[in-house]
Structure 1
Amino acid sequence: MADRVAGKVAIVTGGASGIGRACSLRLAEEGAEVVVTDIQDGAGKDVVAEIERSGGDASFLHHDVTSEDEWVAVVAGVVERFERLDVLVNNAGIGIGASIIEMSLADWQRQQAINLDGVFLGIKHCIPPMRDTGGGSIVNMSSVAGLKGSARLAAYNATKGGVRLLTKGVALESAQNRWNVRVNSVHPGIIDTPIWETVVPGSLRPDGEPIDVSAMAETAVPTGVLGQPTDIANGVLFLASDDSSYITGTELVIDAGLSA
């Protein structure tokens, strides 16, 4: 086990699967005490067990990121147990694709609540304990969809673009107030994660056919390679560690040139 984040306490939301799982594993591998949060209790506990089998330290908390009360409870529990909070990975998110003239208001609001409100609540409630115990790093999971538009993903674009600029504004507020909390966003490209399975079936294709992610990457990504969750986790690790101590208010794009 290495020690790039040794001694740090990290919360990873949506940590039960996909990119969140990879971030949890990678941070623990590098010495962090990881608090995995998710609404998928079984899968979240499996991630904790995997970390512990590898010699790392982790725990799981059930957590709906759209609930302010649950954010208050999660952060209070972490601070009470560890007496500090150093890293927040605001990763929990969903993808709902549809024509903008067909999307229901309920789907629009649900996606906004998880992808954007959840990030806001994490920032709001994690900055104070970070500030009060010496500082920290907040990593907000955006997307290349937060940098450029995509047909039938306009609502998702809105959430991820919002995360990008929310990140910049909070980074400047933190810097100007000398809170010693860095805030950055990460923008994955086409990554092999379960989010493609949860997108409304056929919503990204007018013909209703399922998405072949590997074929999509081969066509759209300059390298032709489908990204893996660990590719994103390595970037998150960098931003969580002191290696990135002079980096705040920016975006780390991990997309093999897709947005170039």
Structure 2
Amino acid sequence: MDSKDSVDSENLLGQFLRARRALLRPEDLGLPAGARRRVAGLRREEVAMLAGVSTDYYVRLEQGRERNPSAQVVDALARVLGLEEDALAHLHQLARPVPAARRRKGGRGEQVSPVLLRMMEGWHRTPAVVLGRCLTVLAHNALGRALFAGHTHSGDLLRLVFLDPDAREFYADWDRVAVNTVAGLRAAVGTDYDDPQLIEVVGELSLRSEEFRRLWARHDIQQKARESKRFRHPVVGELTLDYESLTVNSAPGQQLVVYQADPGSPSEHALSLLGSLTAGDDSPQASPHEEKDFSA
């Protein structure tokens, strides 16, 4: 599979509609399942009927011959497809894409503000990392580095989830983490599927990870916001941490992710232990992009 085939930017709207249609069952929408369906999910004519548009018009949307549906049509399609808030916003973005010249591209040149680095330095009890658009770790404080240390891809959370040999041990709820990671990646890149870094990483992971390939094909969209996450840390054992993801307004595309344990919990004690083991190394650091190994 060529990496360009994994990130086809020619008909993003049609790809999204087809993928989301395939995830629905007719009975979920009050339609008869029928005994002979050649493909999974709803038929095109069923989506068109439920959305109140002609079948011909909907077919043209999926085929890319019609690319700019009205806001009313987008809302109707989103209702039929059961899209939540982030996916609805993404569908509107696909229908009214931002001109390429106005997009800010991520990549290896992403720089973290010195002010943000100094701020992270003062968070001695709080792991913090700054992520780029493709979920590479651009910077971390000492505790943030210690939380993800010891893995082949500690500096790249996307590759850590799907390529690291101990990912399923490190993430106690790996299946949920995998779904949310891919959905977060799609939300982070928006409609900028021409980004060379995205093409590179999606192409590599599509070749090397069946799970990533399956989840990428679903076109799930979910902003990385807040969640509780369970880790099995190789040094301090199990940790349950709440995280909050904040956008960095001075650097569009970057996310500051901050982790905390419940006060008085075993996880807080384990996090304190991890902090004591990293004492004396308090300066936050920008993370150099690791050399990638693309061998199978």
Shorter-normalised TM-score: what interval?
Answer: under 0.3
The normalised TM-score by structure 2 is 0.24
The normalised TM-score by structure 1 is 0.26
